[in-house]
Amino acid sequence: HPLHPFLVSLPKTEHHMHLEGSLSPELLFRLSAKNNIPLPSPETDPAFSSVESLYERYSSFTSLDDFLHYYYIGFTVLVHESDFEELAYAYLSTQSREANLRHAEVFFDPQVHIARGISIETIVSGWESALQKVQKEGVDISAQLIPCFLRHLDVKDSERCLSLLLSGGFFKPPNPAEEKPSSRRLEGIGLCSTELDKPPSTWAHIFTTAKQAGITNTTAHAGEEGPAEYITAALDDLHVTRIDHGVSAADDENLMDRLAKEQVLVTVCPVSNVRLRVKQKLEQVPLRRFMEKGVRFSLNSDDPAYFGGYLQSVYCAVQEVFGFTVAQWAVIARNGVEGSWCGEERKRVLM
């Protein structure tokens, strides 16, 4: 494509990538052996016969929950701080070089790790070491880690997790004298996992408590498999400032107007939507509608190791189908910077 070199060099932000979603089958088998964590036997699930058969299985997910089954098996092999550091380092260093990624906001799911006896501190420390290592190598990248509450577990589990996050001081700067935007260990919260029959309102008190504790950056997965009403509910009941996926918004004209008026950033994951059969084809992801309506969106990879590619391949796939102009790409890039949680100083550098 003639715009390919431009699309590679375009400075990028990514707001919707799950750290555990960057665990490749190769690393899954390697960590399973290293940490002595058995995977399901090939007799129970033939997908675990080899790296190749696992990739094959990943290419035919039938729904979000079908994917989440494999995704949470992947979690079990992540044990040591160095495992999380390796994941984070691979993502940050590869994407900064291959896709000119300049700012990343990366999700993780603490509840599932806590249930296995892995502390939040282990994950956050591994992440911080990786980021420092990449920055020491001279890469100009900023990045934040965002814990997500999980909808497939009872909301009481989210309550316990929020208590641990707050009592552990993760939303305070390591040095209180340094309080400024983006100086905290964790910069915000999200909500993810199973969506159908899990209305956002169930998590309203979690988001209220978080806000009272000074957490202002909030987002939620909404309108992926779920209806447009769940997006409205995320805005009204959770008061989130961002929406993850949000593709169902296109079914509700009033909601589209509201998203545009309130300048809510929608973190769209077009390739993920096709892989999880939210949409049959990339063409059906409502990027053109969003663009015409002035609904701000960024493009994201979601779970790149499971969905066949990282951020650059998402940009290329979108360009192949939507054929955006250089001016339109500039709007997408600018909206991504403006919707980031990195603070005004960093935004000026990224603009």
Active site residues: 224
Amino acid 253 reads E
Question: Could you tell me which of 105, 103, 134, 16 has the C-alpha nearest to residue 351?
Answer: 103
State which residue, 64 or 88, has the beta carbon closest to ligand ADE.
64
- The stretch among 29-37, 182-190, 225-233, 296-304 that binds Zn ion (CB under 5 A) is 296-304
Give the span between the Cα atoms of 62 and 43, in whole angstroms: 21
Q: Single out the segment in contact with Zn ion by CB under 5 A; choices: 44-52, 57-65, 125-133, 299-307.
A: 299-307
User: How near is the Cβ of 343 to ligand ADE at its closest, in Å?
Assistant: 26
Half-sphere exposure of 10 (CA within 13 A, CB side): 27
181 to 240, contacts with Zn ion by CB under 5 A? none
Binding mask 189-228 for ligand ADE (x = CB under 6 A): ---xx---------------------------x--x----
Which residues sit opposite 103 in a β-bridge?
13, 142
232, 302, 314, 333: which one binds Zn ion (CB under 5 A):
302
* Rounded Cα gap, residues 215 and 197, in angstroms: 27
CA atoms within 13 A of residue 88's CA, in its CB half-sphere: 32
List, in sequence order, every residue forming a beta bridge with 108; answer none if it has no partner.
Answer: 147
Give kind and range of the element (H or E) at residue 143: strand 142-150
Angle at 193 between CA 191 and CA 195, to 5 degrees: 90
From the list ligand ADE, Zn ion, none, pick the one residue 25 interacts with, judged by a Cβ distance below 5 to 8 Å according to partner type. Answer: none
Q: Out of ligand ADE, Zn ion, none, which partner does residue 193 contact, by CB within 5 to 8 A per kind?
A: ligand ADE
Could you tell me the smallest distance in angstroms from the CB atom of residue 291 to ligand ADE?
22
- Between 280 and 309, how does the x/- string for binding to ligand ADE read (CB under 6 A)? ----------------------xx------
Number of residues that bind ligand ADE (CB under 6 A): 11
Cα distances from 343 to residues 177, 182, 194, 197, 200, in angstroms, run 17, 6, 31, 35, 27
* Cα distance between residue 235 and residue 255, in whole Å: 10
Residues that bind ligand ADE (CB under 6 A): 18, 21, 64, 71, 192-193, 221, 224, 272, 302-303
Annotated binding site for Zn(2+): 16, 18, 221, 302
Annotated binding site for substrate: 303
